[in-house]
Amino acid sequence: MTESASTSSSTHNHTDSDASSGKASNDIHSESSLDASFFASAESLSVESIEPLKRTFASGRTKAYDWRIAQLTALKKLLTENTKEITKALHSDLGKSDSEAWLTEIGYSIHDVDDNIKKLKSWMKPKKVSTPMVAWPSKSFVIAEPLGVALIIGAWNYPFQLVVTPLIAAIAAGNCAVIKPSELSEATSELLSKLIPKYLDNTAFRVQEGGKDETTELLAMPFDKYFYTGGEQVGRIVMTAAAKHLAPVTLELGGKSPCVVDGETNLEVAIRRIVWGKWMNAGQTCVAPDYLLIEEKYLADFSQALIAEIKKQYSEKPKANKDYGRIINQRHCARLISYLDGVNVIHGGKHDVADCYIEPTVVIQPATDASIMQEEIFGPLLPILTFKSKQSMTSFIKSRPKPLAAYLFTSDKAFETSFIEDISAGSICVNDTNIFLANHELPFGGVGTSGMGSYHGKAGFDTFSHQKAVMKRGFRFDFAVRYAPFSKLKLMMLKRL
Restricted to residues 434-463, the positions that interact with ligand NAD (CB under 6 A) are 446, 451
* 169 is a contact residue toward ligand NAD (CB under 6 A): no
* 378 is a contact residue toward ligand NAD (CB under 6 A): yes
Of 51, 46, 47, 52, give the one whose Cα is nearest residue 203. Answer: 52
The distance of closest approach from Cβ of residue 111 to ligand NAD in the complex, given in angstroms and rounded to an integer, is 17
* 157 is a contact residue toward ligand NAD (CB under 6 A): yes
Strand pairing category for 351-352 and 357-358? antiparallel
* 212 is a contact residue toward ligand NAD (CB under 6 A): yes
* Cβ-based nearer residue to ligand NAD, 16 or 295: 16
The distance of closest approach from Cβ of residue 219 to ligand NAD in the complex, given in angstroms and rounded to an integer, is 6
Please state, in angstroms and rounded to a whole number, the distance separating the CA atoms of residues 84 and 80: 9
Please state, in angstroms and rounded to a whole number, the distance separating the CA atoms of residues 1 and 351: 7
Q: Hey, which residues does 386 pair with through a beta bridge?
A: 294
Of the candidates 252, 359, 375, 376, the residue annotated as catalytic is 252
Respond yes or no: is residue 31 known to be catalytic. Answer: no
* Cβ-based nearer residue to ligand NAD, 234 or 299: 234
For residue 176, the Cα-to-chain-centroid distance in whole angstroms is: 21
Strand pairing category for 344-347 and 361-364? antiparallel
Peptide bond into 360 cis (omega under 30): no
* 239 is a contact residue toward ligand NAD (CB under 6 A): no
How many residues belong to the site for ligand NAD (CB under 6 A)? 32
* 109 is a contact residue toward ligand NAD (CB under 6 A): no
Decide if 162 contacts 455 (C-beta within 8 A): no
Looking at 1-119, which runs of residues are DSSP E strands?
A: none
First-residue to last-residue Cα distance in the chain: 77
The burial class, CB within 10 Å (0-12 / 13-18 / 19+), for 321 is middle
Decide if 368 contacts 392 (C-beta within 8 A): no
* 18 is a contact residue toward ligand NAD (CB under 6 A): no
Please state, in angstroms and rounded to a whole number, the distance separating the CA atoms of residues 272 and 312: 9
* 180 is a contact residue toward ligand NAD (CB under 6 A): yes
Respond yes or no: is residue 209 known to be catalytic. Answer: no
The distance of closest approach from Cβ of residue 105 to ligand NAD in the complex, given in angstroms and rounded to an integer, is 12
* 335 is a contact residue toward ligand NAD (CB under 6 A): no
* 376 is a contact residue toward ligand NAD (CB under 6 A): yes
* 155 is a contact residue toward ligand NAD (CB under 6 A): yes
Q: Which of 211, 289, 360, 379 binds ligand NAD (CB under 6 A)?
A: 211
Residue number of the CB closest to ligand NAD reads 254
* 390 is a contact residue toward ligand NAD (CB under 6 A): no
Please state, in angstroms and rounded to a whole number, the distance separating the CA atoms of residues 84 and 82: 5
Binding site for ligand NAD (CB under 6 A): 28-29, 32-33, 153-157, 162, 180, 182-184, 211-212, 215-216, 229-231, 234, 237, 252-254, 286, 376, 378, 404, 446, 451
By annotation, the residues acting in catalysis are 252, 286
